[in-house]
């Protein structure tokens, strides 16, 4: 089974800090994604990547950046954390075409105080 591992389950950071959320997948998938999940808003796509060193903006990229230096790792960066970035962050990966389905990590619950 594909495993998508998010390095932290819970994080508490201060306003203005630079925050790194790490995601690693073990099935050589080309495609990786970062979502945030908020009550009443569902999941919203922040950034995605179809290949190493490649990134594309999703629906809500403002305040975020990403890095994909290796195929298995996709990092989400909050350049200067703000309280409105308090959320559950979910990483996903997918191989091949859309019909393969996506495998999600367990999520990182980030609180910015």
Partner 1 sequence: AQSVTQLDSHVSVSEGTPVLLRCNYSSSYSPSLFWYVQHPNKGLQLLLKYTSAATLVKGINGFEAEFKKSETSFHLTKPSAHMSDAAEYFCVVSDWSGGSNYKLTFGKGTLLTVNP
Binding residues vs partner 1 (CB under 8 A)? 4, 33, 40-43, 45, 50, 56, 90, 92, 97-99, 101-107, 109
Look up tokens 């389950």; give the residue: 9
Least spacing, CB of residue 105 vs partner 1, in Å: 5
Select 83 or 99, whichever has its Cβ closest to partner 1.
Answer: 99
Q: Rounded distance, CA 113 to CA 78, Å?
A: 14
- Tell which residue, 33, 14, 32, 9, has the closest CA to residue 85: 14
Least spacing, CB of residue 9 vs partner 1, in Å: 8
Select 33 or 64, whichever has its Cβ closest to partner 1.
Answer: 33
Residue 12 has φ and ψ, to the nearest 5°, of -125, 125
Select 28 or 56, whichever has its Cβ closest to partner 1.
Answer: 56
Least spacing, CB of residue 80 vs partner 1, in Å: 27
Residue 79 has φ and ψ, to the nearest 5°, of -60, -40
């Amino acid at each position: 089974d594909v495993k998508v591992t998010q390095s932290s389950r819970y994080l508490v950071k201060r306003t203005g800090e630079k925050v790194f959320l790490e995601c690693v997948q073990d099935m050589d998938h080309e495609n990786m994604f970062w979502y945030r999940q908020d009550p009443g808003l569902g999941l919203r796509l922040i950034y995605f990547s179809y290949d190493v060193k490649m990134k594309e903006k999703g629906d809500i990229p403002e305040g975020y950046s990403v890095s994909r230096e290796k195929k298995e790792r996709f990092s989400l960066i909050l350049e200067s954390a703000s309280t409105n970035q308090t959320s559950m962050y979910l990483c996903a990966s997918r191989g091949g075409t859309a019909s393969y389905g996506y495998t999600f990590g367990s999520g990182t619950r980030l609180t910015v105080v």
